Amino acid sequence: MAGHSKWATTKHKKAAIDAKRGKLFAKLIKNIEVAARNGGPDPDGNPTLFDAIQKAKKNSVPADNISRAVKRGGGLDGSGVNYETIMYEGYAAGGVALLIECLTDNRNRAASEVRVAVTRNGGSMADPGSVTYNFNRKGVIIVSAEETDEEAILLATMDAGAEEVKESGEKFEIICEATDLVDVRTALVDAGIDYDSADASFVPELEVDLDAETAQKVFSLIDALEDCDDVQNVYSNADVSDEVLAELDA
């Protein structure tokens, strides 16, 4: 899980940059709309919506924007959203496997944008099923290291289904089965531990170690994908060491 943990840290750093470009806000709002459509507009009875709202708040999405997204998604304002989830598979430099999750109202546009982003940045598209076997669907909860410590997290969550806790910079990453996600984050809250986000994610089984040159190419490709409006998440089995990350930062 080490590579996934480091990648999570990298994505958190990127999130601040994305927010300035407006990309992150748009993706978080779309998550809220889809969650409200699929499970209803009441976050108390819709755990997915609850977590989508929590994540938006943690990333400073204005309350009015969140409220409007819930109403649109739940059909409370007379409108509605009709996004579909599409998964694309591909490879980046160094044989790194990519799962590309899209939420879109235009399948043809999403497919075209993803293909262009991949092929123009040194990657290649893959046939369905050729990449997914490398990943497991897991619950991933991010907690700020300023809020607590690893021992407190373990004590609060092990009985609820937490499988692993990893420290990654200023964050802790809690891994559990996707079906235990609500129980684990509820256990955190009950223990008085705040969390930044709780998502069902794809976690790699086997990771690929990258040197600085290859890592830069992989990051550039993922940046291009995340700039696509229809792309919600990009999952990778890249493992980038602290030394390589430091080299890239320099």
CA-angle at 70, arms to 67 and 72, nearest 5°: 110
User: Average pLDDT in the 27-44 region?
Assistant: 93
Q: Is the pLDDT of residue 230 over 90?
A: yes
pLDDT confidence bin for 81, thresholds 50/70/90: low
Distances (CA, A) of 155 to 95, 149, 168, 188: 38, 10, 19, 10
Q: Are 5 and 165 in contact (CB under 8 A)?
A: no
pLDDT confidence bin for 228, thresholds 50/70/90: very high
In this predicted structure, what is the pLDDT of residue 2?
A: 40
* Domain residue spans of the chain: 2-74, 84-130+209-237, 134-204
The pLDDT tens digits of the residues spanning 163-195 come to: 999 887 788 999 999 999 999 999 999 999 999
User: Average pLDDT in the 149-160 region?
Assistant: 94
User: Average pLDDT in the 84-92 region?
Assistant: 96
pTM of this prediction?
Answer: 0.85
State both tokens at 20: 């300035």
In this predicted structure, what is the pLDDT of residue 244?
A: 85
What mean pLDDT value characterizes the chain? Answer: 88
Q: Give 236's strand partners.
A: 98
Q: Percentage of residues in the chain with pLDDT exceeding 70?
A: 90
Beta 238-239 vs 208-209: how paired, if at all?
A: parallel
Q: Is the pLDDT of residue 27 over 60?
A: yes
Q: Is the pLDDT of residue 3 over 50?
A: no
Which position has the higher pLDDT, 244 or 125? Answer: 125
Provide the CATH topology of domain 84-130+209-237: Alpha-Beta Plaits (3.30.70)
User: Average pLDDT in the 123-138 region?
Assistant: 95
In this predicted structure, what is the pLDDT of residue 22?
A: 76
Beta carbons within 8 Å of 110's beta carbon, 6+ residues apart: 86, 102, 104, 228, 230, 231
CA distance 108 to 161: 39
In this predicted structure, what is the pLDDT of residue 78?
A: 66
CA distance 83 to 80: 10
Instruction: Say if 2-74 and 134-204 have the same CATH topology.
Output: no
pLDDT confidence bin for 20, thresholds 50/70/90: low
Q: Are 185 and 117 in contact (CB under 8 A)?
A: no
CA distance 13 to 223: 12
Q: Is the pLDDT of residue 111 over 90?
A: yes
Residue type, 80: G
Q: Write down the architecture of domain 134-204 according to CATH.
A: 2-Layer Sandwich (3.30)
Residue holding tokens 């609060």?
Answer: 156
- From start to end of the chain, where are the E strands? 84-91, 97-104, 124-125, 135-144, 162-168, 171-177, 197-204, 208-209, 231-236, 238-239
Q: Is the pLDDT of residue 247 over 70?
A: yes
In this predicted structure, what is the pLDDT of residue 173?
A: 92
For the structural domain made of 2-74, what CATH number should be given?
1.10.10.200
